Amino acid sequence: MPRQPFDDTRFPQYYRVPRPPTEADQDLAVRVAARLRADLSPVGHHIVVEVQNRVVMLEGGVPDPAMRAQVHQIVWQVAGVADVSNRLAVWSEDLPEPA
């Protein structure tokens, strides 16, 4: 008997539609990105900043572990940050550097 696809409408208590970011989260994301632009050199990295419930999520890549730690430290200095999820990859260790 073939498997039927999961029907999540029968279990609404287990399914939650993601909410759009709040204005406060959007403002925090802009402030974090501006701080990173001001404190880092403009080349050699690709960083995506997302914020949800004051938790800053960092994704992308940086050239070395020292810069990864520096980015983490810079983000913590921005007022309003409750936590940082640093998922930045190091180009030489985790993935190839972009062309």
* Helices and strands, number each (H, E), in the chain: 3, 3
CATH number of the domain enclosing 68: 3.30.1340.30
- Residue 74 falls inside a structural domain: yes
80 closest CA partner among 20, 13, 32, 9: 32
pLDDT for residue 72 is more than 80: yes
Mean pLDDT of the 8-23 span: 67
Counted domains in the chain: 1
DSSP 8-state assignment for residue 45: -
The label of the residue with tokens 């501006």 reads 34
When pLDDT is cut at 50, 70 and 90, the band that residue 8 belongs to is: low
34 in a structural domain: yes
Domain range for 35 is 21-94
Q: What is the pLDDT of residue 13?
A: 59
19 pLDDT higher than 80: no
Q: Which two tokens stand for residue 88?
A: 């930045």
Q: Is residue 62 part of a domain?
A: yes
